[in-house]
Amino acid sequence: MGKTFQYRETLEDTALSEMFSTIYRHRVPGLIEITRDDVVKRIYINEGNVVHATSTDRADRLGAHLYRVGKLSRKQLVDTMRNREESGKRHGQLLIEDGLLSPGELYDAIRGQMESIVWSVFSWQRGEVTFRIGEFNEPMIKIHLPMRQVIVRGIKQVPDTKSLVQRLGRKGTIFRPSYTTEDLIEVALDAQEYQLLCLVDGKRRLYDTCTDGPFKVSENARLLYAYRILNLIEKVEDGGKGTGTVMIRYKTESV
């Protein structure tokens, strides 16, 4: 793909979910590259979907993923990796030839591996992100993860809830719904996630929505942030001065 520079940011300055949301709004194809220390993870975007992901981290390799999820034993992993070095064949090809996985099972495994790479970068709290616009033609097995679903799932992996809630507003901040039925279907919220969304009515305070929601307070806060990023809700009032920012106390699960 072309090397035209488009965007560069750090995770310390801008949340990855916000970068993903910006890319989604513009509907441009390209490559997101996230670098931390000596690890580089690459996420390919096309037509509003994540279509491929790679990583230089050994723990993200296909064999390591299959072993981690119980699809390969330790001996099978060692044997196939040795065969790969001796034959020069791709690991997936050997897994099929050795009868360890069917082509369909291999596709599911590769999809799971790529999803694992994508979710993992949302837990990174430091690193450099670059995004380059362009089409990519190199051979790859494509998956199709809708970007808005990726954002919701990714935000649920973020360990630092406090930083997300601070971006939402104060205890008294009020949001109202701003979604369509088409939005709900595309984002694919489950019943409880939709239940939380329905608490946003243009009257209830952020504090109350976090405490009254169907999940733990920290998870409610993460999801509300995701809804805000995806424009499913919009701010009506900022809570005014002196109301304080929302604080999450993990031991008591109160805000």
Average pLDDT rounded to a whole number, residues 13-35: 89
Q: What is the mean pLDDT of the chain?
A: 87
CA distance 217 to 171: 13
User: What's residue 207's pLDDT?
Assistant: 93
First to last CA, the chain: 47
Instruction: Give the pLDDT score at 4.
Output: 60
> Degrees (nearest 5) of the Cα angle 250, 34, 155?
30
Write b or e for each residue in 63-90: b if 16 or more Cβ atoms lie within 10 A of its Cβ, otherwise e: bbbbbeeebbeeebbeebbebbeeeeee
Helix or strand run (H / E) with residue 83: helix 74-87
Task: Look at 4-18, 83-97, 137-151, 238-252 and tell me which has the smallest mean pLDDT.
Answer: 238-252
**Contact by Cβ (8 Å): 107, 141:** yes
Confidence of residue 25 (pLDDT cuts 50, 70, 90): confident
Please give the pLDDT value at position 111.
92
pLDDT confidence of 252, banded at 50, 70, 90?
Answer: very low
Q: What is the pLDDT of residue 254?
A: 40
Beta bridge partners of 128: 10, 35
